[in-house]
Chains A and B, each alone.
Chain A
Amino acid sequence: MPKRKDIHKIMIFGSGPIIIGQAAEFDYSGTQACLALKEEGYETVLVNSNPATIMTDNQIADHVYIEPLTVDSVSRIIRQEYPDAILPTIGGQIGLNLAVALAKTGLLDELGIQLLGTKLDSIDQAEDRERFKELMQDLNEPVPASQTVATVDDALAYAETIGYPVIVRPAFTMGGTGGGICHDAAEMATIAANGLDLSPANQVLIEKSIAGFKEIEFEVMRDAADNAMVVCCMENFDPVGIHTGDSIVFAPNQTITDREFQMLRDCALRLIRALKIEGGCNVQLALDPNSYQYYVIEVNPRVSRSSALASKATGYPIAKMAAKIAIGLTLDEVLNPVTGKTTAQFEPALDYVVCKIPRWPFDKFTKANRHLGSQMKATGEVMAIGRTAEEALQKAIRSLEIDAKDLILPAAQAADQASLEEKLTHAQDDRLFYLAEAFRRGYTIDQVHALTKINDYFLDLVAHLVELEKTIQTHKQDVPTLQVAKENGFSDQTIAKLWGVTANEVRTFRLANQIHPVYKMVDTCAAEFTSATPYFYSTYDHENESHRSKKPSILVIGSGPIRIGQGVEFDYATVHSVRAIQSQGYEAIVMNSNPETVSTDFSVSDKLYFEALTLEDVLNVCDLEQPVGVIVQFGGQTAINLAAGLAQHGIKILGTTVKDLDAAEDREVFDQVIKQLDLKQPVGLTATTPAAVLAAAEKIGYPVLVRPSYVLGGKAMEIVYSQTELEQYLQTNAHATVDHPILVDAYLEGRECEVDAICDGHQVLLPGIMEHIERAGVHSGDSMAVYPPQSFDADIKAQIVAATEKLCVALKCIGIMNIQFIIHDHQVYVLEVNPRASRTVPFLSKITGIEMAQAATKVILGQSIADQGLTPGLHPEPAMIHVKAPVFSFNKLDDVDAFLGPEMKSTGEVMGSDVTFAKALYKAFAGAKMLLPDNGSVLLTIEDADKQRVLPLAQRFARIGYRLLATSGTAEFLKQHGLHVEVVDKLHETGTNDILDAIKTKVDIVVNTMGHDYQKNSDGFVIRQTAIEHNVPLLTALDTVDALLTSLENRSFTTQAL
């Protein structure tokens, strides 16, 4: 069918800020969809609140709105743009929900706007539990038997009819809280009672348990002409019971016969046809490992994380094709962009094995509950490709950017038998390492299977690798063993560990024996047709298919998996760097391991190597490609960390040299530079004994900021105002030792800010200064920030510019650099320097119109700032005001303290822009889902030290018509100042749950500054946790409260007696 001519302008929604369960994959799908629509000649309007995305670039869509994804805000845009149609299935669940909500308002009908792709009714049918169940019954497709009950007796009776084990899922609780699996009536009685109690609706769903079944996923496509196909089938290593986003996944399916496969494929196609999906769809099925019995778990009627993974795993661009289907094209008339010869109606054939491993945030959230279950906890994922499953698995492990680079985990080696078996039985993020340890200790596959229910085939992969470990250990410097080790994905580093030599020695030995990887193409067709896809993976096989081009090339290192502190911002910078490299006449080569991202779309660069970002893997690519040099400034800390090793091997690091990168990161060298430049920085000392800490504080003068150099959760950083307080801190919070010294810094009260500067060695360009809303103590990544600064005068800005210029030149920055400052007593102090692109690059690029990563790349390639036609110095400030707000995923994780501190906790960000600060703030809060009623109530639970500061804030809440609730101490204090306050009892004082009930029922926002309460049973922690569980906005920094009040005041009337 030809594409539709009756529509011209199409609106697309992004998925908003990155949260757990909704990460960079929607930037990838959104970008693809926009480009596909543009390619077909449509005008596109994009709305997304997340500035850190490629899709919000002006080149991607014709009209880009970085605005909150709310009905209110999007309606305004619609009334301005009058799109002919909306494509709602690209922006994840957020985009889909928004489209449904918009349709309900009647606006779409009023303006005659059509929804493209899958129809709303189909979406509803897939998403509504009851309707979906009905459809499955009509189609004769089995779903696990389930029923909602309201009493323990009904629960017991229903369980009896369907048979144990059953799963209890309380209705409307976060992350499945209060649910569980019951094997008998006794367990059921307890769990059901607890679940009913926790459920706000007093309902639990009783569902037949299919835990232990094989979990098989299909990525399916269908067009309006009813052509349907399977893009990819994936099999979970972890059986049913663990969210697929938290499961290790292999593609293609590994353990099912053709008969089973075709049975499930038929089912997937029946479902997509019955639901009349027009586009992509994800079907999750569970297959009994001992029969043909299968169940439909769920259907996602849109592109998803899995479809991004499937796109990268097969080379088949699902989102792009989904967009083309939405405008009426059929699969058999669109070309497969990979082969350029075959049509898109083509089921990819893989001749390699793909392994995906989730990346969890437990390195940052050390106290979180690490058990895996039905609630996804991973922030990102890595993918690896190999010619053996073992190779893919091991490459994926070393892509994770965690401490473990292979299956050898010291903690697992140290575990006693009981804890080992516990780790196997109740899966946590690190189960893989414990599986390996079990085999090392002689457990059989049958024994491990009994504990884990993981398929023997998968277990054998791990057992095989453990066997090989031993062989490698006993065959030192043996060439055939080395060859086998490499074919099975062992890194030089791991082999070195087993041989007792250095990784470099292994590399030298390996190369001397001509053992090096070859690179194979991902071509969707297992080599049946000639393709020219520039998409490669390494493997230890025979024929190399990747050939160096005659054009000089530059290698850009990506940033690996999305994790806390290293988000989609770095992918944005990577993609921009690629564009600049190409514009300068070079071939741009990208290496990255993250399947969710735009940078791993093979059409972005001239060549993509889907590889782990370790020294060995990067050197191997350099050996083949002989690039002019490597750019490391845009891939976050991952890329920077590779610089020294690469330089040692004679690889040219382009831009700031390795020596100068070190100068910025080495505290001592850096202090010298600061001195030489006559700049100011807060005085800081390091102490290893309590006495020395006290002496240091005395020397610096109170107040001081103290923190252990080694932070393990809790509120470890603290501002102390006196010796008594410091002594108390030392007793309760931190133990100074030689290994873990304590850092003591002068605490300077004042505003923090940061700049990203581009420097060509002589001149410096500052696109903008971003002022932080929260003062010291909150990580810059968790701070709200505003551009242009609201409280700096011309003199302060001049000081910042001067200090930046001096630092950039002195640190010999060629490229980009991020500097953090604090303004104290009208003086600018330097806090830290990062010699790389920071997470604020996309934000400032979009606002100022200076493509910072591109400008920096051009500088790196030798074009000065002036040559680029840019004016050095501080870029003129715009009329609009832009606010960045962090977004958190606390409600997906148990036992993570939501109190903001020096450790970054946010997963994403949003931007709000408007003509006044207050309006911009309002939009930023709206984007971050902090939407408050006109007349609400606020619960204040404040530490004594903060009481004076909270008074004016409480008064402002009262003035805009908010009811105040507070615990007795705070309430007393506020009453003394004439405020009307309702007292709620503290938990520990009275043993009642009044305060928690208040949060659940009548509080619209919780302000909690009880940072000392980081124990799980402390009042402060429980209050924060309750707010998170019940989706009540929570603020832990009074500066954020100040900002929120500014935005609320702006929209309400002031009521004051004469």
Chain B
Amino acid sequence: MKRYLVLEDGAVFAGKAFGAMTNTLGEVVFSTGMTGYQESITDQSYVNQILVFTNPLIGNYGINFDDNESLEPGIKGVICHHLARRPSNWRNQQSLGDFLTDHQIPGLQGIDTRELVRHLRSAGTLRGMLTDDVSDLPAIVAQLKATNPTKGSIAAVSTKSVYPNPGYQRNIVVVDFGIKQSILRELAKRDCNVVVVPYNTTAKQIENLHPDGILLSNGPGDPMEMISAIKMIAEVEKHYPVFGICMGHQLFALANGAKTYKMKFGHRGFNHPVRDLASGKTYFTSQNHGYAVDAASVKETQLTVSQVEVNDGTVEGLRHKQYPAFSLQFHPDAAPGPHDAASLFDTFIKLVDDQKEAHHHA
């Protein structure tokens, strides 16, 4: 069946449909990762977005149920050059097409994805619609221009109720802005007793959970929408070690008076080199963000830039000058992507343990 991608600037890409037979609307973004389509598709940070894979072949190792990053993917569509005919991997449990059908996600293949990426690269991120009917293009374009697909995304994907991810060692409260399960896996590996709370949890509610540390998760959309969370962070950072990842990083910045901005087409992929400014070391990181922290705005705050992207200088990490709090724009939890920065979880754990120790002796 034919299916089209219509962009808000009127560009149309015609290809073949796969996955669910529904029309959807979302922000069109691309990822340059060559593996990990399953993790990306199930990453809640992609909620209300249509994801284009630059790797020309997707679905080649199928889908397995261990590598999901969320139970209910909120992505609005998957676009690839070519869907594999025969997935092959020992853990393969379902084909990508069937998985998308099950989760009501439409797919589009057989378009020149490189052309689309080049288009997005010069036009910047665009709103788009996956549809099988392009008879009234002006109407579609008008609808796209009138919609903000990512607005309210965090509220939609964040957990509605508090739930535990039990362990023994440290009490960590994780604020869910659209959490990737890999973050919980990393905490579990380090034997944390985790309580996951909704995005709008107040500082007081968190205090009542007696945490040893707080982790601010990744999530979709514009950080400026999270007014209550920004307030919460400004309060809790005074008392507890804080670790922000991706959205959590941007909120940490905002809570301390820095500013964020929307990037032209964002960073999505695994090959972004990041330099740790203290050690000078570089590592490759897993990234998925359309907003970033304005470096100039950091100067006026109690924060220091601790990491930058090697090529474009984007702020990739912040550290509080006074409190045991830091944040990362990229995903040290990887999944998908390189594990090079996984030790930054240990950095957080050390902050937590040091603080515990200090309290113990205090």
Contact = CB atoms under 8 A, between A and B. Distances in A.
Interface in B28-67: 30, 32-36, 38-39, 54-57, 60-61, 64, 66-67
A751 to B, nearest CB: 58
Chain A: number of interface residues, binned into ranges: 35 or more
A257 B271 contact: no
Nearest to B54: A526
Contact of A255 (B33, B54, B89, B281): B89
A528 to B, nearest CB: 5
A545 B54 CA distance: 16
Given A257-B67, A528-B269, A351 B113 contact: yes
Contact of A457 (B54, B84, B111, B311): B84
Interface string A235-277: 0000000000000000011111111011001100100000000
B112 A541 contact: yes
Contact of A226 (B30, B33, B57, B281): B281
Interface string A938-951: 00000000000000
A77 to B, nearest CB: 39
A332 B310 CA distance: 7
A527 B339 contact: no
A257 B68 CA distance: 12
Given A342-B311, A387-B81, A457-B60, A349 B273 contact: no
B91 A520 contact: no
Contacts of B91: 257
A537 B81 CA distance: 17
Given A347-B271, A456-B86, A252 B112 contact: no
B114 A541 contact: yes
B282 interface: yes
Secondary structure call for the B interface: loop
B121 interface: yes
Nearest to A467: B85
Interface string A329-352: 001100000000111011111111
Interface in B69-122: 81-82, 84-91, 111-115, 117-118, 121
Given A258-B39, A262-B339, A332-B275, A353 B56 contact: yes
Contacts of A254: 57, 60
A261 B35 contact: yes
A526 B117 contact: yes
A225 interface: yes
Contacts of B121: 527-530
B273 A346 contact: yes
A3 interface: no
B35 A256 contact: yes
A527 B114 contact: yes
B336 interface: yes
A542 B61 contact: no
Interface residues of B, number: 53
A543 interface: yes
B117 A258 contact: no
B114 A388 contact: no
B15 to A, nearest CB: 10
Contacts of B230: none
Interface in B319-362: 334-340
Contacts of A332: 273, 275, 282, 310
Interface string A275-305: 0000000000000011100000000000000
B282 A227 contact: yes
B164 to A, nearest CB: 25
B284 interface: yes
A457 B90 contact: no
B271 A543 contact: no
Contacts of A455: 88
A266 B91 CA distance: 20
B86 A457 contact: yes
Given A252-B34, A349-B33, A262 B54 contact: no
A445 interface: yes
- Among A226, A520, A528, A529, residue most surrounded by chain B Cβ atoms (within 10 Å): A528
Interface string A703-730: 0000000000000000000000000000
Contacts of B113: 351
Nearest to A541: B112
Interface in A452-508: 455-457, 460, 464
Given A257-B64, A530-B121, A349 B85 contact: no
20 contacts: A227-B281, A252-B34, A255-B88, A257-B36, A257-B67, A258-B33, A258-B38, A262-B35, A332-B310, A347-B273, A349-B55, A350-B34, A387-B114, A457-B61, A527-B114, A527-B121, A528-B32, A528-B117, A542-B111, A545-B118
Interface of A: 225-227, 229, 252-259, 261-262, 265-266, 269, 289-291, 331-332, 341-343, 345-353, 387-389, 445, 455-457, 460, 464, 520, 525-530, 541-543, 545
Given A265-B338, A528-B30, 10 more contacts: A225-B280, A252-B35, A257-B64, A262-B35, A262-B337, A265-B339, A291-B90, A350-B34, A527-B117, A542-B115
